[in-house]
A and B are shown apart, each in its own frame.
Chain A
Amino acid sequence: MAENDRADSNRIVRVPLHEVAHGRTGDKGNRVNISVIPYHDEAWPLLLEQVTPERVKAWFAAKGAGTVTRYELPSMPAMNFVIDDVLQGGVNGALNLDGHGKSLAFHLLTMPVEVPARLALHPEKATG
């Protein structure tokens, strides 16, 4: 790898989490869980540092998120967020289109994170 390329791949980019990790939502009652699985294992410590329960709770404020618990699975690596009260009634009497919260993983995946360009699938999508 040429010196310039290496410098470029180490450049810190601000990208949506979607460029660095994938995940899916599951629901139970008025809670959802959202897994976050990095594409590169090397991104794992950066995600631990940046995708915190506090930040996730704030990210889902419009949905009325209550307690957010983060479970860490370093052997995969992956993390699993459990977000309380985010379904606004769950499928019970919920008025929103997505009573199961199926789409909510993709809301979390829009959260910006800062990583070296080499850990982003499409670093050209950087916003800063």
Chain B
Amino acid sequence: MTATTVHIGCGAGFAGDRWDAAVPVVASLARRSGPRYLMYETLAERTLALAQQARIENPAAGYSPYLERILRPVLKSVKANGIRVVSNFGAANPLGGARKILEMAREDGIAGLKVAVVEGDDLTAVMTEGDIRGHDPVEGIAMPDGRLVAANVYLGARPIADALALGADVVVVGRCADPALALGPLLHEFGWSLDDLDRVAAGTMAGHLLECGAQVTGGYFADPGYKDVPDFGHVGFPIAEISADGTVVIGKADDTGGLVSHRTVKEQLLYEMHDPSAYLTPDVTLDISGVRVEEIGPDRVRITGARGKPKPPTLKATVSFEGGWLGEGEITYAGPNARARAELAIEVLRTRVRDLGTNWPLRFDLIGTVATFDGDGGDLRASRSWPDDGEYRVRMATHGGERHMAQWIADEVLSLYCSGPAGGAGVRHRIAPQITTASILVDRERVTANARLVEEN
């Protein structure tokens, strides 16, 4: 019998999300009936490149380094309650991730767990580097130089539905469109055709609302006195109820803090959205320009009216390159005349870096003014006056090709302790390897996605 309502909870909205967020989501899903799913979105643009580098060092690695931390607390419970898990935590090595999950199941005495992988997102398996570089980037970024680290195409929901049809309890994906983590289960449960554009659009919208975890339940939202969120330290992660007709209701895990309101939903609907009438995904072009958002109960919001237009002719891929080194350092000046001492520190740093004989770009911030809003030239700070006394944190940042130069420049901040203005305090400095990314559009014929069940080694 075809389901009437599918429940999909979200256990993570990014790689660094709360390790225990899924626990109340699973406890809530366990009390409900019908098809129930738990999705985790753990793969930002750069995360996959880092995973690819980890895999180069260790062929068994390359899946999300957080996989065990986020999945083990709920693995026994999801299997016992028939809740199925769908996630892109396979990152650069879905097969390795699947084997890790099977190993965890064995260690925890979970019998009969079926794990599937979805593969086919790795473009380097089907295209040469020259071919990849021959594609013009989109989204206003030039094709970076540097060594190619990873190139992965955003897969759609169909192979996820295929994996579920194989009976998988856990589906491990690498790169896929984030909303596909929800749309896949909906295609599987409702038997929707991908040509049923309005329903596919509704499922995509549900996935879009879920994919950032707490961002639809009060996270990235709370603003005291303006947008208050109760028991925010225990913010509950979202659970969507999707009906066969495409109606979406967003709620959250039972016995948690947080808030689901028309405002939390509207902010998240528009998050990372450009033209609201043309949100491009591998499966559909989503149009949310006419949706209705209604509060239908405490922490329950119904969203209707998503429209679908035909999917774009190409698939988007993220290509990642080694991007040199970031060097940065910070030091604080506080108390009387703090601003003048901080400004003197900046002047000293400029002199010192110039004496190193480098032309690396430098950015200076005076944290405590408008540093986050300002451009690299500091025009916004210069346009206003700031108090002489108070607390100012100087930040210097630079970027270039050689590791040692990044270190030398960052070290100039450290040396301000003894050789800089009076009272310099709290130095933090570091260098970090950078990954640069660009997006390209790839012909669909170049990409073949497939789903298969995995046995433990």
Measuring CB to CB, which residues of chain A are less than 8 angstroms from any residue of chain B? 18, 22-24, 26-31, 33, 35, 37, 61-64, 66, 69, 71, 73, 75-76, 78, 80, 82, 84-85, 88, 90-93, 95-98, 103-104, 106-107, 121-122
Contacts and interface: CB of A to CB of B under 8 A. Distances in A.
Most chain A CB atoms below 10 A, which of B138, B140, B268, B365: B140
Contact of A18 (B226, B268, B289, B326): B226
Given A62-B373, A93-B434, A28 B289 contact: no
B221 A29 contact: no
Contacts of B326: 93, 95
B455 interface: no
Given A35-B266, A97-B365, A107 B373 contact: yes
A28 B139 contact: yes
Nearest to A108: B373
B140 A26 contact: no
Contacts of A66: 140
Contact of B289 (A31, A63, A75): A75
Given A82-B274, A92-B436, A29 B139 contact: yes
Given A75-B289, A90-B141, A97 B273 contact: no
Interface string B179-223: 000000000000000000000000000000000000000001101
Contacts of B288: 73
Interface stretch (B238-246, B375-383, B417-425, B441-449): B375-383
B457 interface: no
A95 B289 CA distance: 35
Contacts of B395: 97
A80 B227 CA distance: 19
Interface stretch (B53-61, B79-87, B290-298): B290-298
27 contacts: A18-B226, A22-B267, A23-B267, A26-B271, A26-B272, A29-B138, A30-B139, A30-B140, A37-B270, A62-B377, A63-B375, A71-B276, A73-B276, A75-B292, A75-B305, A80-B270, A85-B140, A91-B46, A92-B323, A95-B362, A95-B398, A96-B365, A96-B372, A97-B395, A97-B397, A107-B373, A121-B225
Nearest to A67: B140
Nearest to B383: A62
B140 A104 contact: no
B429 interface: no
Nearest to A64: B375
B376 A96 contact: yes
A68 to B, nearest CB: 12
B361 interface: yes
Nearest to A27: B272
A82 to B, nearest CB: 5
B250 to A, nearest CB: 15
A93 B399 CA distance: 7
A29 B46 CA distance: 12
Given A18-B226, A26-B270, A91-B45, 10 more contacts: A22-B263, A26-B271, A31-B140, A71-B289, A73-B288, A80-B274, A82-B275, A84-B140, A97-B372, A97-B397
A97 B371 contact: yes
Contacts of A93: 323-324, 326, 399, 434, 436
